[in-house]
Amino acid sequence: MLPIFLKTLPFFAIIALGYGAGRTRFFPDEATAWLTRFVFYFALSAMLFRFSANLSLRAVIDWPFLWAYLAGSLLVYLLATAVALLRRAPVAEAAVEAQCAVVGNTGFLGVPMLTLLLGAQAIGPVMLVLAVDLLVFSSLIVIVVTASRDGRIAPGVLLSVGRGLAQNPMIVSMLAGFLWSATGIPLPGPADEFLALLGAAATPGALFAIGASLVSKGAERLSVAVWLSFCKLVLHPAAVGFMAFVVFPVDRFAAGVMISAAALPVAGNVYILARHYGVAPHRVSTAILVSTAASVVTLSIVIARVT
């Protein structure tokens, strides 16, 4: 485990650097917002486009992998929902808590970290995990929260979900990259170098932004946040690992990448959705803070065990 911990330590050190810069107000909230925007719309999109443009969609799609990850995630999602409802939490809050339990920081942390730690072979599996998180769970929370308030699923909600997916730069960049790959035309040298240079900013920029954003995360319902962090860091990788090795046999390396991605801390976009709908945003921010701090140790343990 120690060698893996030492390899992951620089990533978390950049997160800590970002946190320190934000805490001292050397890097204020406005700067964090703009850095996040740069990473989200430019650097990370360039990285994802370049990755997918150099991959074949047919080679990336792995149906046992997808079913294993989706089934394991849904198992934890339903468990977190049931626990929230047993506490008599409203349906909307239960949906937000369930989102915390299964949606990890795959875009900002998983893509750069796991591809560097596990090699180029990890790119395809990590992108599949990211696709499921974006297409399935990011859509599901909008549908459940809206339906719980309106008492029904209106056509306008589905249109809003579709519009949101079509405007997500991570989805657009991956799709555009695979479309380019389908043409069989290699990326021109200058274009490839441009994307490589811009994409290289994604890793330090995303990690620094994660750390700086943690400063604004308040504490609420710590016991719930600890439970959700346990779901995300322990139960989620265990569930997808069970599905990958027992129910839907998956290639061992790909399964290791899937389990490692499932062990990532709670994603920041869950907070954005919670704040947008006014559903337990402080609870989500606490879960992000707790899970990110704990993942310094837990993520290293998981990666060491499955790789």
For residue 298, pLDDT beyond 70: yes
pLDDT of residue 163: 76
pLDDT of residue 234: 97
Model confidence band, residue 280 (pLDDT cutoffs 50, 70, 90): confident
pLDDT 10s digits, 82-126: 999 999 988 889 999 999 999 999 988 888 889 888 988 999 999
User: How many domains is the chain built from?
Assistant: 1
Q: Residue 218: which domain range?
A: 2-306
Q: 270-277: list long-range contacts, CB under 8 Å, 24+ apart.
A: 270/96, 270/99, 270/100, 270/103, 270/141, 271/217, 273/96, 273/99, 273/138, 273/141, 273/142, 274/96, 277/92, 277/96, 277/145
Give the residue among 293, 267, 296, 304 at the shortest CA–CA distance from 117.
304
Model confidence band, residue 156 (pLDDT cutoffs 50, 70, 90): low
pLDDT 10s digits, 50-82: 999 988 888 888 999 999 999 999 999 999 999
In one-letter notation, the amino acid at residue 49 is: F
pLDDT 10s digits, 24-33: 999 998 998 8
Of 118-122, 159-163, 186-190, the one with minimum mean pLDDT is 159-163
237 vs 91, more confident: 237
pTM: 0.88
CATH number of the structural domain spanning residue 140: 1.20.1530.20
Length, in residues, of the chain: 307
Contacts of 200 (CB under 8 A, 6+ apart): 43, 47
pLDDT of residue 111: 87
The 3-class SS string of the chain reads: CHHHHHHHHHHHHHHHHHHHHHHCCCCCHHHHHHHHHHHHHHHHHHHHHHHHHCCCHHHHCCHHHHHHHHHHHHHHHHHHHHHHHHCCCCHHHHHHHHHHHHCECHHHHHHHHHHHHHCHHHHHHHHHHHHHHHHHHHHHHHHHHHHHHHCCCCHHHHHHHHHHHHCCHHHHHHHHHHHHHHHCCCCCHHHHHHHHHHHHCHHHHHHHHHHHHHCCCCCCCHHHHHHHHHHHHHHHHHHHHHHHHHHCCCCHHHHHHHHHHHCCCECHHHHHHHHHHCCCHHHHHHHHHHHHHHHHHHHHHHHHHHC
Mean pLDDT of 153-171: 74
For residue 219, pLDDT beyond 80: no
Phi, psi of 53 (to 5 degrees): -65, -20
pLDDT of residue 154: 60
